[in-house]
Amino acid sequence: MNKILVVGSVAYDSIETPKIKKEHLLGGSANYFSLSSSLLASVNVVGVIGDDYKESDLELLKNRGVDLAGLQKVPGKTFHWSGKYEESMNEAITLETHLNVFEKFNPVIPDSYKDSNIVFLANIDPELQLQVLEQVNSPKLVGADTMNYWIQSKKETLLKMISKINILTINETEARMLTDEWNINNAIEKLAEMGPQYIIIKRGEYGFMAYDKSSKEFFVMPAFPVRNLVDPTGAGDTFAGGLFSYLASLKDWSFDDIKRACIHGCIVSSFTVEGMGTEKVKSITLKDIQARTKEYLKIIQVGSSTSSIEDVTSKKLNMLN
């Protein structure tokens, strides 16, 4: 079975939505990714925590079988992010960022992690992402995410990192920013030219687009329409966790597998947004995911025979001839 190594932030977040305000919630990309991916796969975490990090938050991951050998504990406070959302909840507005122990984070990969054959570089400084890659023994599959901040401040390093990965997950705005292309298809193709075979565009409540550079094929799907959007924080990292853990369950990967892995990621993240912070993704089970996947496959089901869309136009064309 494939093992996943994830490097990312481990944090406490204070989040304000139009309806709820909560302080000191468990957060950070590595936590969201691990909680999501550990439902299907074996996960090795690399990150840093301060001495205020709660034992129960470590237990949470341990109980999911997550290996924490790569989680450094150093004196000081854990990374803390505060953000709020307006009514549309499309974008987080950062109120405060206290890097704390994260400021001097220097990822060290334990020997026991070095043979992880899937690596996910969550959104952190691209220099650190590269450092992680240098320490692992030729993984079979490397994925990464990034954000506007690195696109603006460290583009060159970011491009170097992107040139070394197989799958890039990135949101629509960032994809446009990184490529200077407004049209999303063109942006995707430019991203693929930077290196990765697969480009996954995250579109929030509107789902995702996936692209395979080899076949030049696109795959576009809506998100599962959630009834109760509580807090979108972590949706992207949960999506990535679902995506890579699905792939970890397979021996090799076709674009069809990537498509299904994205749907799995979509479903897991549809749960995440139903609770504040990691509240909901902490408690879901594979059975919950299975049930919602069934529901999802129904809402994207065109009907008994998709070919009949073409029958109507063909019939008309024949009448005209």
Q: Which of 6, 11, 40, 43 binds its own copies (CB under 8 A)?
A: 40
Evaluate whether 102 touches 81 at the Cβ level (below 8 Å).
no
**Residue 135 to residues 111, 125, 207: CA-CA distances in angstroms?**
9, 16, 34
Comparing CB distances to its own copies, the nearer of 214 and 308 is 308
**Residue 140 to residues 33, 166, 239, 245, 247: CA-CA distances in angstroms?**
19, 9, 20, 14, 11
Length of the chain: 321
Structure token digits, residue 11: 């944090």
Comparing CB distances to its own copies, the nearer of 161 and 284 is 284
Region of 90-98, 105-113, 230-238, 257-265 interacting with its own copies (CB under 8 A): 257-265
* 90 sits near its own copies (criterion: CB under 8 A): no
* 309 sits near its own copies (criterion: CB under 8 A): yes
Q: Which of 56, 63, 106, 306 binds its own copies (CB under 8 A)?
A: 306
DSSP 8-state secondary structure symbol assigned to residue 222: P
* 26 sits near its own copies (criterion: CB under 8 A): no
* 264 sits near its own copies (criterion: CB under 8 A): yes
Evaluate whether 238 touches 268 at the Cβ level (below 8 Å).
yes
* 263 sits near its own copies (criterion: CB under 8 A): yes
Region of 106-114, 119-127, 147-155, 222-230 interacting with its own copies (CB under 8 A): 222-230
Region of 4-12, 56-64, 110-118, 227-235 interacting with its own copies (CB under 8 A): 227-235
Comparing CB distances to its own copies, the nearer of 70 and 204 is 204
* 191 sits near its own copies (criterion: CB under 8 A): no
Beta bridge partners of 97: 81
3-state secondary structure 26-79: EECHHHHHHHHHCCCCEEEEEEEECCCCCHHHHHHHHHCCCEEEEEEECCCCCE
Q: What is the H or E stretch that residue 280 is in?
A: helix 279-283
Closest CA to 27 of 55, 53, 46, 63: 53
Comparing CB distances to its own copies, the nearer of 156 and 319 is 319
Structure token digits, residue 99: 């890097």
* 249 sits near its own copies (criterion: CB under 8 A): yes
Sheet with 167-171, side-by-side order of all strands: 67-73, 42-49, 3-7, 118-121, 141-144, 167-171, 198-202, 208-212, 217-221
Comparing CB distances to its own copies, the nearer of 156 and 302 is 302
Comparing CB distances to its own copies, the nearer of 117 and 157 is 117
Comparing CB distances to its own copies, the nearer of 166 and 293 is 293
- Rounded CA-CA distance 228/206 in Å is 15
105: left (phi over 0), alpha (psi -120 to 50) or beta: beta
* 321 sits near its own copies (criterion: CB under 8 A): no
* 225 sits near its own copies (criterion: CB under 8 A): yes
* 207 sits near its own copies (criterion: CB under 8 A): yes
Comparing CB distances to its own copies, the nearer of 131 and 173 is 173
Q: How many CB atoms lie within 10 A of CB 3?
A: 18
Interface with its own copies: number of residues (CB under 8 A): 58
* 177 sits near its own copies (criterion: CB under 8 A): no
Q: Which of 112, 148, 206, 283 binds its own copies (CB under 8 A)?
A: 206
* 170 sits near its own copies (criterion: CB under 8 A): no
Q: Which residues sit at the interface with its own copies, rule CB under 8 A?
A: 39-40, 87, 182-186, 203, 206-207, 209, 217-222, 225-229, 246, 249-250, 255-257, 259-260, 263-264, 286-287, 289-290, 293-294, 297-304, 306, 308-310, 312-317, 320
